[in-house]
Structure 1
Amino acid sequence: MQIPLSGELTGEGHRLVQRVYYEDTDFSGVVYHARYLHFMERARTDYLRLLGVEQAAMAVAGDTEGLVFVVHRMEIDFKGPARMDDILTIETQTEKAGGAKMILRQTIRRDDMPLIAARVIIAVINGKGRPRRLPETLAERFTGMA
């Protein structure tokens, strides 16, 4: 069975499979530490997409009703290296969704070997950059996955 391009929703959250390319590595052939942020961002974006959240439609610049997700804080533990051509699995789980923030847990694995463990705090803001409560119906999409 082939996993769709945007990954798949699971009973715990979301799973995305990505290959490591040459562009993801440093001169030694190991994934450059900042590239893991790209993998995690893709997974979070696809998680939202599969939950039916259309970020472009929600983000209205200068609008107090607009809704935008921004990374407020990230804690990352680097547990092992990935290398060119590795197949990585990025998993995203919602720990909390409500108020003006979401807390997501993300892991990156190669086979059964954990490479990255991250906790990502997402702030919910309006189009003017001010905190905004996550609408209850939207929070339920995230918490309904847990």
Structure 2
Amino acid sequence: MTTMTPCQSLTIRVYYEDTDFSGLVYHASYLRFMERARTEMLRSLGLDQRALLEGAAGAPIFFVVRAMDVDFRRPATMDDLLTVETEVLAVGGASLSLEQRVSREAEPLVSAKVRIVCVEAGRARRFPPEVRAKFERLLPDQA
């Protein structure tokens, strides 16, 4: 069982497929790394995305990235071991604000502010209460 902490962490190895012709990690690969970290955060909360889409919380819902502000500071290279941290900053009625950081041995490489929206039938909708409560457990002042 995963221990709940305000900041979730995922370790990722950089593979050849994550790099571009220069041997550096391609910018879109960082977005995939962050997506994986967000998915693992949901799993750590006991939220199964497939089950939510199939209506486990009432109506079928899913989460989409509404906005992302990314700051690329330093590159990573093949075989690097990266840490992707995900921190919940705020939980709104239908949205979630996150900060994600990618680092290599504590050296900051990429950071992003991410806004996630809960969607039902193609439109934003409020989080089901039990889903919202799980996200709120990750707020820094709740730990």
Question: TM-score, normalization: structure 2?
Answer: 0.89
Structure with a larger share of its residues in helix? 2
Among 1, 9, 16, the alignment partner of 1:15 is 9
> Is 2:21 the counterpart of 1:27?
yes
Aligned length: 137
Within 5 Å, which residues of 2 pair with 1:1-146?
9=3, 11-60=5-54, 65-126=59-120, 128-145=121-138, 146=140
Two-structure CA RMSD over aligned residues (Å): 1.8
In structure 2, C-alpha distance between the alignment counterparts of 1:19 and 1:10, rounded to whole Å: 23
Once the two structures are superposed, residues 117-139 of structure 1 have per-residue CA deviations (whole angstroms, 9 ceiling, x without a partner) of: 1011011111x111110122212
Alpha carbons 1:14, 1:93 under 8 Å: kept: yes
Q: Percent identity?
A: 46
Amino acid in the other structure paired with 2:117: A
**Structure 1, unpaired ranges of 5+:** none
Structure 2 CA distance for aligned equivalents of residues 29 and 135 of structure 1: 44
Alpha-carbon displacement from aligned partner over 1:59-92 (angstroms, at most 9, x marks no partner): 149xx81111001110000010000010000000
Question: How far apart are the structure 2 equivalents of 1:99 and 1:111?
Answer: 36
Measured in 2, the distance between the counterparts of 1:49 and 1:135 equals: 17
